[in-house]
Amino acid sequence: GENVEQHPSTLSVQEGDSAVIKCTYSDSASNYFPWYKQELGKRPQLIIDIRSNVGEKKDQRIAVTLNKTAKHFSLHITETQPEDSAVYFCAAYFNDYKLSFGAGTTVTVRA
């Protein structure tokens, strides 16, 4: 199956600063890359995704970039707020919509 690596495992930022999380994947056939946010005790929530035919996608304060040649993709959160504190997971599809997840990044936004 797909192998997805995610860095860093923890990230602490000052409110208002930017946060960047990076992921790499192994299967060159992967064509869909979602990002999930999981707050404590809650289900993972899809926050943004990108398909392999685009290099960048933005939704308000969050953006995702994809480099298919290098097989890596990144999540960018600008103007961070306390409510952005959560665990973020990157993922990639392999074999019929199965998701392989990265290990997760715990983001803490300091007020």
Partner 1 sequence: SAVISQKPSRDICQRGTSLTIQCQVDSQVTMMFWYRQQPGQSLTLIATANQGSEATYESGFVIDKFPISRPNLTFSTLTVSNMSPEDSSIYLCSVYPGTSGWNEQFFGPGTRLTVL
The binding site for partner 1 (CB under 8 A) comprises 1, 32, 34, 36, 42-46, 49, 51, 89, 93, 96-104
* Residue placing its CB nearer to partner 1 in the complex, 10 or 18: 10
The alpha carbon of 45 is separated from its chain's Cα centroid by a whole number of angstroms, namely 12
The C-alpha atoms of residue 33 and residue 23 are separated, in whole angstroms, by: 10
User: Other CB atoms closer than 10 Å to residue 8's CB: what's the count?
Assistant: 13
Which of residues 67 and 95 has its CB atom nearest to partner 1 in the complex? 95
- Toward partner 1, which CB reaches closer, 98 or 110? 98
